[in-house]
Structure 1
Amino acid sequence: MSVDIDTLFEMMDEGQPVEVQEEALREARKIKSLSVFMQPIEYGWSWENCAKVICEKTDEELNKYTCEMLEWLQDINWPGAFLIMERLEKMEPQFLVHAVGYQVKQALLLKDNEWLGWMSYLIKNKKFYDALSEKKNIRKY
């Protein structure tokens, strides 16, 4: 089965029967470009399933999407936010440290304390905290 992207997102909607969502997830796993799954504005009720697809990927596959994944933490009530948080917590720190630095600056500019709070949970991983503390890892965006 091959479906267009709009049909796929409609199938991924949380309101669809479980079998339809599972078929959509099977199709979604075939898509290499993960950017389409980063909170598609038109399909908010598909975000939980989008997060499932994203979370199955390796650290290397997710490396270029870490900023977008961190944006998901702006509101932990968004569908998929907890899944994304759990996946970020499991990532090797070298894949996250630059994106977190950048997004923390964005949250500070926006005075978004809730977002800062959720990102701070990543620091409970000692390896991540240590990586953040190393000056050699700090780079400007």
Structure 2
Amino acid sequence: MNTKLFSGFVLAVMALGAAPESNGDLPKLQGRWETKVGLRKATVVSIEIKGNAVVATIATPQGRKIQADGELKIDETTSPKALDWVKFTTIDGEEVPEMRAIYRLEEGRLYIRSGGFNDDRPTAFDPGEGVWANVLVFQRPAS
């Protein structure tokens, strides 16, 4: 997986961020979330949220790890709730374009549906066209 492909995937996986409110979603998003992707669900995507800072990591079955850091912005006043991945850079210092998404928290899971780089925000949790248009379902990793 090349750096641009990873960067795009990371942004697709991470579309969150806004001013923290003690009773809003941002405190509920804190910590580590994971999902598995790919045809065999063998690639692990994890996001670690601290404040509005995010570290996204992709771990392939071949043992390769790719990481990008950035910020999330959330807007709980919209329906569906909005999440943006912003200011992301890879470990090599490559900037990643912003990605708009929607999210929802439901029964201990974080659902994220991203658009593409600099594309319009999705309006529903239906899978779209393209590699970045899947609905990703994150859970807390088992201890």
Q: Fold match, TM over 0.5?
A: no
Q: TM-score, normalising length from structure 2?
A: 0.24
Tell me which protein shows more helix as a share of its residues: 1
Question: Higher strand share goes to which structure?
Answer: 2
Larger RCO, structure (CA 8 Å, separation 6 or more) = 2
TM-score scaled to structure 1, two decimals? 0.24
